[in-house]
Amino acid sequence: MEPLQLAEEVVESSPNKLEDIYRLLAEGSFPASFCSSKKKNLKRYARKFILEGGCLYYVGPKNEEKREVVVDPERRHHIFLESHLTESGHHLGQKKTVNRIQSRYYWLGVVKDVIDWIKVCETCQNADYHKYPSKKCKPVKADTPWEILTMTLYGPFPTTSQLNTYILIVTDVFTKWTEAVPIPTNDALCIAKALSSIYYRFGAAKNIYFNQTWDFCEEISRLLCERWNISLTLTAADTTDHTGVNEQTYEDLKCSIKRVVNDNQDNWDERLDPVLFQFRTLVNPVTKYTPFFLMFNRNVQVSSMSEAVEESNDLEVVCPRNIDLAQHTSGVQLQRTAVLANISAVDIQQRKTAEKSRRSAVPITFQAQDNVFDSVADQTMKKFKHNHIVSFKFETVLSPEDNTEKDS
């Protein structure tokens, strides 16, 4: 693990440092034992704090932040537990825990406290992930809508009148529902802001897989927690393995977005909704349902004067009207079971197709032909020279299995 930065905690040694600062700001007085140099140092350090409503806050040397100062040891440990454990019960490491605490609170020795508390955390000490960290992991299968999301960044595109140049694509693994948010830059703050807008409409997911580095994902999570008080887990993942949709749908979506950008270079960011609506209301080849139906459990209505578009699947459409809660819940469960079965069937078929393609490849071997040294047949070949030309005719290349069998 990289050493944590302790710069902001390297201050003048005093057992009651924060209490002295509070007294100075509240009463304008110094401890009786302080000499002139200590008074000067305390006054200089107190500029990083403010007093509001009887509560002390750390604002930093440039007044660019505002974090509550915590003195009570029991409250510090309570804050640690809240920051160390995620909503899903996952235990965060030292760096992430410190970042979550320091986004809202301040006390001297916070890093040392976190390290000491994690050392006595039984779950963390029994886990192996801190010994053998994995930098690549594939998402678990989603069983419910908005449980697992994937995220991809497209761009840069021509700058629009609203100064947008990138598109953040977010896809729900279960329903295949897709969001596309135009953003001006591809930095962590813009992506965090886009995720916050999605969060306020759909809520939090258990995990979001993003085709970026782990450090970048952690930075986005930190900004979400610090600026919007939103806790989301982002995991670095490979783009090709975590698109959230099947390969054909993924390519169709890319082509549609590219077409919109090429045709509307000044305002393509205002024309993404019709493209998304088309993909949301078409039956997905994997789930056999439309993303709209799986997301909202109702058929889409394309006009206020028309009937809702019916789903093209064999199961009875679950409609909450004229049925009791038990029937509705049972119908939703049957629908989700069917979706999971469809996804599993497509996955098995893709694996079989890949295996069949590998086995059906024509083996190729090669053998040396007669007179391969036509131009130097009569010369003594003690060693190869630049004018020695060797030619071979390829007939067959054996597969690895065939080579293994012959060698044995």
Residue type, 266: D
Residue 51: strand, helix, or coil? strand
Tell me the C-alpha distance between 49 and 38, whole Å. 17
DSSP-derived secondary structure letter, 85: B
Copy the structure tokens of residue 255: 């082509």
Residue 229: strand, helix, or coil? coil
Query: Is pLDDT larger for residue 98 or for residue 332?
Result: 98
Query: Is pLDDT larger for residue 358 or for residue 228?
Result: 228
- pLDDT of res. 349: 75
- pLDDT of res. 87: 60
On the CB side of 119, how many CA atoms lie within 13 Å of its CA? 6
Please, which pLDDT band fits residue 268 given cuts at 50, 70 and 90? very high
Query: Is pLDDT larger for residue 1 or for residue 234?
Result: 234
User: Are 332 and 297 a contacting pair, CB within 8 Å?
Assistant: yes
- Helices in 203-308 by DSSP H: which ranges? 214-228, 247-263, 272-280, 291-296
Tell me the C-alpha distance between 107 and 69, whole Å. 6
DSSP-derived secondary structure letter, 315: S
Q: Which residues contact 16 (CB under 8 A, 6 or more apart)?
A: 31
CATH topology of domain 148-280: Nucleotidyltransferase; domain 5 (3.30.420)
* Cα angle 81-113-236, degrees, rounded to a multiple of 5: 60
List own/partner pairs for 248-253 with CB under 8 A and 24 or more apart: 248/285, 249/176, 249/279, 249/284, 249/285, 249/286, 252/279, 253/169, 253/178, 253/279
Q: Bin 127: left if φ > 0, else alpha if -120 < ψ < 50, else beta.
A: beta
Q: Which residues pair with 364 in a beta bridge?
A: 397
Please, which pLDDT band fits residue 311 given cuts at 50, 70 and 90? low
* Cα angle 147-150-154, degrees, rounded to a multiple of 5: 150
User: Is it the case that residue 133 has pLDDT exceeding 70?
Assistant: no
Tell me the C-alpha distance between 47 and 229, whole Å. 26
Are 7-126 and 148-280 in the same CATH fold?
A: no
End-to-end distance of the chain based on CA atoms, in angstroms?
47
Q: What is the mean pLDDT of residues 36-47?
A: 85
Maximum separation of any 2 CA atoms in the chain, in Å:
107
Q: What is the mean pLDDT of residues 103-128?
A: 84
Residue 269: strand, helix, or coil? helix
**ω into residue 363 within 30 of 0, thus cis?**
no
- Where are the domains positioned within the chain? 7-126, 148-280, 291-353, 364-407
User: Is it the case that residue 35 has pLDDT exceeding 70?
Assistant: yes
Q: What is the mean pLDDT of the chain?
A: 76
- pLDDT of res. 135: 43
DSSP-derived secondary structure letter, 113: H
**Where is 236: in which H helix or E strand?**
strand 234-236
**Sign of the C-alpha dihedral, residues 87, 91, 97, 101?**
positive
**Lateral strand order in the sheet of 55-58:** 49-52, 55-58, 67-69, 105-106
CATH topology of domain 7-126: Endonuclease III; domain 1 (1.10.340)
Residue type, 103: S
Copy the structure tokens of residue 228: 């919007």
User: Is it the case that residue 315 has pLDDT exceeding 50?
Assistant: no
Tell me the C-alpha distance between 371 and 391, whole Å. 9
- pLDDT of res. 376: 44
Q: Roughly what angle, to the nearest 10 degrees, separates helices 94-102 and 110-119? A: 140
Residue type, 402: D
**Where is 340: in which H helix or E strand?**
helix 325-359
Residue recorded with tokens 């939103």: 230
